[in-house]
Amino acid sequence: MNLIEIKNVCVRYGPIEALCSISLAISAGDYVAIIGPNGSGKTTLFKAILNLLPLTEGSISLYGTDARRFTQWNKIGYVPQVSRNLHKGFPATVREIVASGILSAKSFPRMIFGKDYSKVIKAMETVGVCDLAERLIGELSGGQQQRVFLARAMVNDPDLLLLDEPTAAIDPATREQFYRTLREINTQFGKTIVLISHDASHIGHFAAKLAYLDKHLVFFGGFDQFCISPEMTRYFGPHAQHLICGQHCPMKEKQ
Amino acid sequence: MNTILEALQYAFIQRALVGGVFIGCCCAFLGVFLVLRRLSLIGDGLAHVGLAAGGLGLFLNTQPLWVSIPLVMFASLWILWLSDKADVYADAAIGLVSAVSVAVGIILASVGRGFNIDLFSFLFGSILAISMHEVILSVALSVIVIGMVFLFYHELFAIAFEEEYARVLGIPVEKINKILILCTAVTVSLGIRVVGTMLISSLIIFPAITALQIARGFRLAMLLAAVFSTLSVLIGVFVSYLADLPTGATIVLINFAFFVLSFIIKKMR
């Protein structure tokens, strides 16, 4: 089953074309990394999927329903970029932040009851932030904050996780650990993961598929094909994509 | 102590305390959300509208609150419309609406020379002169505002933390923003009676920023803001009565003292 189906999507900001003729299907259980240079439309694509901006052309369906009419947002967990959004002095505890994710499963009046907190604890346990429950969000490191936002995204036990540059604000060692956690969530819990990354050489070790975006979709497939694909060679010139993959195209570590 | 008990015998002190505490709690609860969303000066802008609306009420020889509450609510939606739909920055929209309102207030004051002294009470507040009718209206509206804050607490929290994420959660952000700004408009209209147009934003800002210095959790921040606001009103009314000082200004200075205290506590941790 396709959880996300994108058909001929174009998005314009006034005269500027941000996305052009994107068609892509993401199935249940996939682990897809969307990569591409700055300004290539990665975040715009996420916003389009999440119905945060209007499409100029095309359509997006989520779980078979047009995204504009989609209401079951509890089936989708979203992790935004940390650095872009966080108020350092915001007085909320980790528990309060994670609990706010439950709201997508509620309708008016949106109340959070005692039984909902068992979901909060479970989500915090899954990503290993239980010991941070009473800490203020602004006191945490970038890596810890990212785990908290992952717990918030997972609190409703969604089938699909969307992560926008989840490792942008964290050091390389923490990044590796974060990618491993995501892989476990994908393989052990069967969650579908779609994430945006700048870092093809690292994410390629973990994600099952890569989508290379530069306003249009240049490539969509496995990491091993990515490094030798004719589309990428045509796009970058001979061997140039190896600069993206690393000095040598590494074998995947998945198994 | 005897003087305080003696003061409590007076009906005008009782009315000031009841009205002030309820309005102060509204300001405190809303203030936490407004400060975190960097909208704290909206209180100032709406107070200017309240001044003009109060002037109009006096000019028409009606109860000023009956005129100022709907007009300030209308102005608050106008600010929201300017910043959302007309691509005017929020601070510029507040400035635009408040400037137009002050201009209207000045013209009304010059046309109806007889009510200039009453308008003075709008500038600096006159909670000790609050009538029973105004207390009842203030308590009723405060209960509605506080009820709305509790009813939409989780939505307001999510939007204050991250508006875009709140949209992804399926929260109707525009509707909640309207509710927040309309509640603020009602609270500002009532708060002008307590501390006046010149100081109303302090009633919104001070308890919130005082609580934010020391609170370790969002619910605690809301509770502390309400406690600081209530104490400021209670102490302010008594101190102003005992020392024969202007009540509104005394309440603001007590609020400031709490802020300094909480700042010191934060630094000593």
Is there a domain that residue A251 lies in? Answer: no
Q: Which residues of A189-202 are buried (b: 16+ CB within 10 A; e: fewer)?
A: eebbbbbbbebbbb
The CA distance from A200 to the nearest CA of chain B, in Å, is 26
B162, A85: Cβ pair inside 8 Å? yes
Is there a domain that residue A200 lies in? Answer: yes
Q: What is the mean pLDDT of residues A220-243?
A: 70
Convert the pLDDT of each residue in B132-144 to its tens digit: 988 999 999 999 9
B168, A76: Cβ pair inside 8 Å? yes
Is there a domain that residue A93 lies in? Answer: yes
- What CATH number corresponds to the domain at position A134? 3.40.50.300
Is there a domain that residue A250 lies in? Answer: no
The CATH code of domain B2-268 reads: 1.10.3470.10
More confident residue, B212 or A202: B212
More confident residue, A254 or B92: B92
Is there a domain that residue A254 lies in? Answer: no
Per-residue model confidence (pLDDT) at position B183: 95
Q: Which domain holds residue A20?
A: 2-245
Q: Confirm if A55 and A11 have CB atoms less than 8 A apart.
A: yes
Average pLDDT, chain B: 89
B216, A112: Cβ pair inside 8 Å? no
Distance CA A236, CA B6 (A): 87
Domain boundaries, chain B: 2-268
The total of other beta-carbon atoms located within 10 Å of residue B79's CB is 26
Q: Could you tell me which residues come within 8 angstroms of residue A147 by beta carbon, excluding any fewer than 6 positions away?
A: A127, A128, A129, A178, A181
Distance CA A52, CA A41 (A): 14
Instruction: Enumerate the residues of chain B whose CB falls inside 8 A of the CB of residue A111.
Output: 154
Distance CA A119, CA A99 (A): 8
Per-residue model confidence (pLDDT) at position A168: 77
Q: Could you tell me which residues come within 8 angstroms of residue B187 by beta carbon, excluding any fewer than 6 positions away?
A: B23, B26, B27, B30, B142, B145, B204
ipTM: 0.85
Q: Which residue of B has its CA nearest to A113?
A: B154
Check whether the bond before A172 is cis (ω within 30° of 0): no
The CA distance from A226 to the nearest CA of chain B, in Å, is 32
DSSP string across A153-205? HHTT--SEEEEESTTTTS-HHHHHHHHHHHHHHHHHS--EEEEE-S-HHHHTT
Is there a domain that residue A127 lies in? Answer: yes
- Residue A251 exposed, middle or buried by CB count within 10 Å (0-12, 13-18, 19+): exposed
Distance CA A219, CA A200 (A): 13
Average pLDDT, chain A: 85
Distance CA B181, CA B68 (A): 15
Q: Which residue of A has its CA nearest to B221?
A: A91
The CA distance from B74 to the nearest CA of chain A, in Å, is 26
Share of chain B above pLDDT 70, in %: 97
Interface of A with B (CB under 8 A): 50, 52, 71, 73, 76, 78, 80, 85, 87, 89-93, 96-97, 100-101, 103-104, 106, 109-112, 134, 136
- Domain count for chain A, please give it: 1
Convert the pLDDT of each residue in B144-179 to its tens digit: 999 999 999 999 999 999 999 999 999 999 999 999
